[in-house]
Copies of this chain bind each other. A is one copy, B any other.
Amino acid sequence: MEKPKDKPEVEVSDAALRDLVGYNMKRAFNVVQADLARTLEPFGLRMLTFSALSMIVENPGLRPSQLAGALSVERANVVVYVDQLEEAGWVTRAPSETDRRAYALQCTLAGRQVYDKARAAVRAHDRRMLDGLREVEIAAVKKALMRIEGLG
């Protein structure tokens, strides 16, 4: 049997995987995720705490279980996000008027201020990620992504 040669200098090919949109999506998303984390870090936010804060700003009085549904995460994990946002003084847990088990999540003035700044930074990050793409291409990407999401 002939010995297997190793490839110390030759370029590694991933052509078979490149065919797959999922592979390209994972690699692109890794880049986006890393850049977004760097973008949010100065604000003391992470991807999911920023998303949660955004949801609370957009939907005042939102309840944790609704937040879990909107973010597609478990209720148990939402507790951690809200804890962090509450400790930072950006979100409050007000008692619900209609259900004594539930809370109405509200964002504070400080929360609104950090959100506005973080949102501007995130939008700049998003534009950076799309740099060099034409509007029609961006639209195609958004449409495709939302269609894919709808399959799940």
Tell me the interface secondary structure of chain A in the complex. helix
Q: Bound state CA distance, A34 and B26, in angstroms? A: 12
Q: How large is the interface on A (under 10, 10 to 19, 20 to 34, 35 or more residues)?
A: 35 or more
Q: A36 an interface residue at 8 Å Cβ cutoff? A: yes
Given A144-B137, A145-B27, A152-B34, A54 contacting B5 (CB threshold 8 A): no
Number of copies of this protein chain within its complex: 2
Query: Are B152's CB and A31's CB within 8 A?
Result: yes
Which are the 7 A-B pairs with shortest beta-carbon distances?
A31-B152, A6-B104, A140-B140, A24-B145, A28-B145, A6-B61, A28-B148
Q: A122 an interface residue at 8 Å Cβ cutoff? A: yes
Q: A99 an interface residue at 8 Å Cβ cutoff? A: yes
